Chains A and B, each alone.
Chain A
Amino acid sequence: MSDHDHDHETPTVPQHLLDAAAEGCAESRALINRRNLLGLSAGLFAWAHMPRHAEAAGTEPRLLIVNLAGALDGLHVAVPLNDYANYTSLRAGLALPKNLLLPFTSEYALNAAMPKFRDVFLAGDAALVQAIAPPLQISSHFECQYNLESGLPGGGPRSCTTGWMNRLLNILPAGAAVKTDAMHVGPTPFILAGPAPVLSWLPGIRSNSTLTDPLTSLYHRAGNPLSVVLGEGERTYRLAESGASGTTTPPTASPLMRSFLGTARLLKDPAGPRIAVLSTGGWDTHATQASILTTKLSELDACLDAFRIEMGEAAWKTTAVVCVTEMGRRAYVNGTTGTDHGVASVAFLLGGAINGNKVFGSWPGLANADLVNGASLRATTDMRAVFKGLLQDHLGVPRTLLDTEVFPASQTVAPMQDLLKAPTVASASPALTMAAASSMATTSSRSARSTETMASPRRQTALARFRRKNGLR
């Protein structure tokens, strides 16, 4: 596998599109301008239904997963004070001097680009996970990203065509907050791919009501079901753009900021979704890493804080945000003041529901003997443990389903404990318990079925359905 599969670099905007934008008439706010293109390359995001069981007043849990695609260098985020000598000797020219770091915990200092995260951390609403990685650790964006999103224990052929969040949705009772009949699966991101209906929004689109209105009218006149689909899309767009609170995203907001603000408005809305995924790239810092990460971490810091403020106090209390990356980077600096692909990195946890002011996960050490192949920070936490901890304590998903359906063959990976201040959804989640019971009952061996899912055949394909239905298998 290549160490340099640069498959997610920000595309440059073709001049003719910029020209088209510049020449557009005044009535259009829908031009494909630089912001739109960058916004979409920064990440498409999608979310799914509110699980009905969690709708009890005041306890609706919100979950946002932020995917920092490209391999964020954790060593450049939280610097180990007790391992500082190794850190500086591995990273000559890249190591952050202590006087430029923010005091953080007794063991770690924080990159100065994240002051707001530090404030939230110290206030008890944010935490960090050190030395975390998905189970597959082979230094490839392509494979590790697939591993993170598929929820599988390791590599191998891509026989699994569903993402773990879609399998999660599949076992949650369908929500009432969002009509299920008009919402269907969006192709990306892969973590949400699968049969459970999912709603998508393109944050880069600046929709033009001079187009929406006549189209709505046209679809209605034609008596075409497209009117329903368009209506759902528009409702989502409007919620994301301004929300019930009436705040709007400033035109100068970066694409990522636009995405975070829209997500907040949707997650907090009484009729909105409760689970969201947001993906943002550009973390692949093979060269001039320090300046790139200063910019990117500052932006992320600002976005996470704007998200918190937009959510408002009440919704923030029931929110858990987790920012993960598909792999870490080498412990040592390369020849271009950057770092190459490694193993373990950090994860950020934020939200009023998060048991904050803590660093989870143990420090594996930067001494040569402690590094993977003498090169990369070892992972002490399997990323699935964090996901499972959040799903269990925040959404109330039973361990049996986590072990088999959401993260197949992960019985040995225990949910991480104490990630939440208090379990948002305690054991009082009868619907889910029932879902668990019925799915256990419908197959004689849940784990056997999961194994089949992984090893294929693809049970959900149209051909498979056709053959089953017609007795042609």
Chain B
Amino acid sequence: MSSRNIRPAPAAGFSPQAQAHVAFMRFGLGPKMASAARLAAASGAAYDACLREIANPGALLIPDEQVIFNQALINLRPGAAQKPDAVLNYVNCCSASAYSPQVQMTTLLPEPAEVMSTEFIARYAKCIEPEVGFAERLVHFWSNHFSINGAKDSRVMPTVGHFERSVIRPHVLGKFADLLKAVYQHPAMICYLDNQFSTGENSTIGKSAWGKANKLSHNENLGREILELHTLGAYGGYTQADVVSLSKVLTGWSIYNDIKKLETYGQFRFDPGRHEPGPQTVLGVTYSQPDMTQGLAVFDALAAHPATAQHIAFKLIQHFITDEPPVAAVQKLARVFQRTGGDLWAVARALLLVDGAWTLPMTRLVQPLHWQMSMVRGLGFSKNSVMQKARGFHSIVGQLSQPTWGRITPDGYPDDDYYWRNPGFVFARKDFAFGMVQNALGVDKMVIDPEARAAELLPGVCSAALTSTMAEMKTKKIYAGSRLVVLFSSPEYMLR
């Protein structure tokens, strides 16, 4: 099927400029100077730009080499910077039991918080690259779907960014089953949901004197969240017995814990000594594999389950398009998910065709992070400048209650509009916007004509209300920075 055949018919009066606006605000990260005019030039151009982005999954990757660590620390450890796994090694070494002032001194490791900062700096630098930002939004969506709180401990904090780079980014346009399998083979998720010490009572370690003395058993935390949050979803047809069985299947999905072996320390491992032997029945199917292929087979089944398709379809539509996804739209998208064997590229493409995807007015609040990124793009910060300022940016979204990799519970940030429409936070946005604008005008010495910038970023869709408000401010000789704040706080920029 060619993209021409599936191009959505623009509604009557739905101009190319309006299409571009929808693409940027609903599916992307806001307009930027380089792409706004091009997307608004012809009907279908914005949609095609979205398709182009998901056709190029390689552009989403952030290689280890691009994650710039504290160079002084890396230089003190010969060869480390050259090794492709240098990042993970550093990351591993920051893990909880190893992390202490002594270990940090002797191995010259950065602080866990410093590692996480380095990771979110790379993430911010990424947001200015794409034309629209649709694929990058998918990264954020899936990262939130498999939400991890870096603040849990010093084992999770330095690995959560690596999790997004090495697990989420390579798989967001691949098969859902592959994504699932990668998620649970990363130390960040294993440690976040307490699986590293989950031990079968009948395993070698569980049956040992030590195991019995310590009453080692399986931990249900990961198994439950896989079913409830990651795959089938609440009311997805599983029982407590399924939670227990899946938890036993996953006993032994752990990490290397020997601090003396820094080359593997903290990385994922399947530990046969902890794995509960024997078959387990999950959702009525019995799995008899003796090792971690048992878990991999369960993940294939969960990925193929209709409830999973429905769950993912619902969440995608709720995140991108509407608070209350119509059941027909959900089922249609779920069918694409199932028919393609969980092909997330096909699902992303079908998402662009959901009824109501290309409509106005936009009524939902842009979430704090994406609103901020739209300012980063609209102001036109250079990559270097973004990286220098990213810590400040990170602090701002934290204050607006959307800290990156900082959701307190494993359910991820909700997409319900009411959640973000809190008056205190909406009121504060303009003041944070002022800080962002000052970074551009004051620190980077950019020269921006606010009215011209508004016309360039929002070609053909600047409302009369916005234009006249800015014009009046200009007449009153109100500072250009304040006029830019009004632009970025306008309904055009705040709603999606």
B424 contacts chain A at the CB level, 8 A cutoff = yes
Instruction: Provide the bound-state CA to CA distance between A200 and B398, in Å.
Output: 14
CB of A40 within 8 Å of the partner chain: yes
Interface secondary structure of A, over-half rule: loop
Partner-binding segment picked from B69-77, B136-144, B484-492 = B484-492
**Bound Cα distance A215, B464 (Å):** 14
Residues of B within 8 Å of A187, CB to CB, are 401-402, 413, 419, 422
Q: In the assembled complex, how far is the CB of residue B115 from the closest CB belonging to chain A, in whole angstroms?
A: 14
Would you give the shortest CB distance from B479 to chain A, in whole angstroms? 5
Within 8 A of A (CB), among B443-496: 443, 463-466, 468-469, 472-473, 478-479, 481-482, 485-486, 489-491, 494-495
Assess A218 versus B490: contact at CB under 8 Å? Given A457-B235, A472-B310.
yes
Beta-carbon contact of A161 and B314 below 8 Å:
no
B318 touches A17 (CB 8 A): no
Binary flags per residue of A237-266, CB closer than 8 Å to B gives 1, else 0: 100000000000000000000000000000
Chain A CB within 8 A of B64 CB: no
Do residues A32 and B414 form an inter-chain contact, with CB atoms below 8 A? no
Known: A185-B419, A208-B431. A233 touches B426 (CB 8 A): yes
> A442-473 vs B: 1/0 string, CB under 8 Å?
00000000000001111101111011101011
Task: Judge whether A206 and B431 touch: CB under 8 Å.
Answer: yes
| Cβ B401 vs Cβ A464 within 8 A | no
Q: Are A233 and B432 in contact (CB under 8 A)?
A: no
Residue A368 at the chain B interface, CB threshold 8 Å: no
Give the CA-CA distance A215 to B426 in the complex, in Å. Answer: 12
Interface flag for B311 (CB, 8 Å): yes
Known A5-B154, A20-B439, A467-B235; judge A230-B427 contact (CB<8 A): yes
Any B CB within 8 A of the CB of A66: no
CB pair B486 A211 closer than 8 Å: yes
Q: Inside 8 A of A428's CB, which chain B residues have their CB?
A: none
**Residue B338 lies at the interface, judged by CB distance under 8 Å to chain A:** no
Q: Which listed residue (A157, A161, A229, A459) contacts B220, Cβ 8 A?
A: A157
- Set A200, A218, A473: member contacting B466, Cβ < 8 A: A218
Contacts of A46 in B (CB 8 A): 424
Which partner residue on chain A sits nearest B227 by CB separation? A457
CB distance from B240 to the nearest CB of A (A): 8
> A120: CB under 8 A from chain B?
no
Q: List the A side residues contacting B427 at CB < 8 Å.
A: 202, 205, 207, 229-230, 232-234, 236-237
Is B423 within 8 A of A11, CB to CB? no
Contact with B along A11-41 (1 / 0, CB 8 A): 1001011011101110110111000010010
- Tell me which residues across on chain B come within 8 A of A17, comparing CB atoms: 392, 395, 435, 439
A183 within 8 A of B: yes
On chain A, the residues within 8 Å of B276 by CB distance are none
Once A19-B443, A24-B442, A157-B220 are accepted as A-B contacts, the answer to whether A211 and B485 lie under 8 Å apart by CB is yes
In the bound complex, residues from chain A placing their C-beta under 8 Å from that of B425 are 186, 200, 202, 233
Residues B96 and A16 in contact, CB atoms below 8 Å apart: no
Interface bin, chain A: 35 or more
In chain B between 219 and 238, which residues have their CB closer than 8 angstroms to a CB of chain A?
220-221, 224-225, 228, 233-235, 237
Contact: A468 with B151, CB < 8 Å? no
Binds A, one of B1-9, B27-35, B404-412: B404-412
**Chain B's nearest CB lies how many Å from the CB of A341?**
13
Q: Which of B157, B411, B422, B466 contacts A186 (CB 8 A)?
A: B422
The answer to the question of B389 belonging to the interface, with a C-beta cut-off of 8 Å to chain A, is yes
Interface membership of A362, Cβ < 8 A? no
Q: Is the CB of A183 within 8 A of B152?
A: no
Q: Is A295 an interface residue (CB 8 A)?
A: no
Shortest distance in angstroms between B93's beta carbon and chain A's nearest beta carbon? 15
User: Residues of A contacting B426 with CB < 8 Å?
Assistant: 226, 229-230, 233
A441: CB under 8 A from chain B? no
Closest B residue to A470 by beta carbon equals B327
Nearest-neighbor residue (CB-CB) of A203 within chain B: B424
Could you tell me the distance between the alpha carbons of A334 and B252 in the complex, rounded to whole angstroms?
36
Decide if B396 is an interface residue (CB 8 Å cutoff). yes
Q: Which residues 245-269 of B sit at the A interface, judged by CB distance below 8 A?
A: none
B315 touches A463 (CB 8 A): yes
Please indicate which of the listed interface residues A31, A463, A473 has the most CB atoms of chain B within 10 Å of its own CB.
A463
Q: Is B391 part of the binding interface, using a Cβ–Cβ cutoff of 8 Å? A: yes
Say which residue of A4, A146, A183 sits within 8 Å of B408 (CB atoms).
A146
Given contacts A4-B154, A142-B152, contact A221 B438 (CB under 8 A): no
Minimum distance in angstroms from B150 CB to a CB of chain A: 8
Say how far A212's CB is from chain B's closest CB, in angstroms: 7
- A32 in contact with B432 given A16-B389, A218-B465 (CB within 8 Å): yes
Contact A461 B431 (CB under 8 A): no
The complex places the Cα of A222 from the Cα of B410 at a distance, in Å, of 38
**Whole-angstrom CA separation of A212 from B434 in the bound complex:** 12
Taking the complex as formed, is A1 at the interface, i.e. its CB lies under 8 A from any CB of chain B?
A: yes
**Are A210 and B482 within 8 A (Cβ)?**
yes
Please indicate which of the listed interface residues A4, A146, A214, A222 has the most CB atoms of chain B within 10 Å of its own CB: A214
- CB of B399 closer than 8 Å to a CB of A: yes
A122, CB-defined interface residue at 8 Å: no
- Chain B 148-181: CB-based contact to A (< 8 A → 1; otherwise 0): 0001111101000000000000000000000000
Contact residue range for chain B? 35 or more
Across-interface contacts of A1 in B (CB, < 8 A)? 153
Residue of A nearest to B330 (CB): A466
Chain B: minimal CB distance from A69 (Å): 12
Measured CB to CB, the closest approach of chain A to B237, in angstroms, equals: 8
Measured between C-beta atoms, what is the minimum distance from A272 to chain B in Å? 14
Highest count of chain B CB atoms <10 Å: which of A6, A30, A31? A30
Within 8 A of B (CB), among A162-202: 182-188, 190, 193, 198-202
Chain A residues, Cβ within 8 Å of B211: none
Query: Does A158 interact with chain B (Cβ within 8 Å)?
Result: yes
Neighbouring B residues of A427 by C-beta, 8 Å: none
B215 within 8 A of A: no
A215 vs B399: C-alpha distance when bound (angstroms): 21
Q: In the complex, A319 Cα to B216 Cα: how many Å?
A: 48
Pairwise interchain contact B234-A229, C-beta atoms closer than 8 A: no
Among B221, B438, B468, contact of A23 (Cβ-Cβ < 8 Å): B438
A46 to B425: give the CA distance in the assembly, Å.
Answer: 11
How far is it, in angstroms, between the C-alpha of A46 and the C-alpha of B489 when the chains are bound?
A: 23
Q: What residues on A are CB-neighbors of B330 within 8 Å?
A: 466
The verdict on B430 contacting chain A, using a C-beta distance below 8 Å, is yes
Which of these, B392, B408, B409, B486, contacts A215 with CB under 8 Å?
Answer: B486
Q: Which B residues lie within 8 Å of A21 (CB)? A: 438
Question: For residue B430, which residues in chain A have a CB less than 8 angstroms away from its CB?
Answer: 30, 207-208, 211-212, 215
A313 CB within 8 Å of chain B: no
- Flag if B435 contacts A186 (CB, 8 Å): no
- Known contacts A218-B466, A226-B491, A457-B235; is A205 also within 8 Å of B228 by CB? no
A82 CB–B CB distance under 8 Å: no
**Docked CA distance A204–B428 (Å):** 9
**Any chain A CB within 8 A of the CB of B271?**
no
What 7 A-B pairs have minimum CB-CB distances, sorted nearest first? A233-B427, A200-B424, A232-B423, A457-B234, A32-B435, A221-B465, A233-B423
A-B contact pairs, 27 of them (CB 8 A): A16-B388, A20-B442, A23-B442, A27-B479, A31-B438, A32-B434, A186-B401, A187-B413, A188-B408, A190-B408, A204-B399, A205-B427, A215-B489, A222-B463, A226-B491, A229-B421, A229-B423, A229-B426, A233-B427, A233-B428, A458-B234, A459-B234, A461-B414, A466-B324, A466-B327, A466-B330, A472-B310
Interface residues of chain A, those whose CB is within 8 Å of chain B, are: 1-2, 4-9, 11, 14, 16-17, 19-21, 23-25, 27-28, 30-32, 37, 40, 44, 46, 140, 142, 146, 156-159, 161, 182-188, 190, 193, 198-202, 204-208, 210-212, 214-215, 217-219, 221-222, 224, 226, 229-234, 236-237, 455-459, 461-464, 466-468, 470, 472-473
A208-B431, A221-B464, A221-B469 known; 20 other A-B pairs, CB under 8 Å? Answer: A2-B96, A2-B153, A5-B152, A7-B152, A7-B153, A8-B151, A9-B113, A14-B395, A23-B443, A32-B438, A211-B431, A211-B482, A215-B430, A218-B465, A219-B491, A229-B421, A230-B427, A232-B423, A463-B311, A466-B327
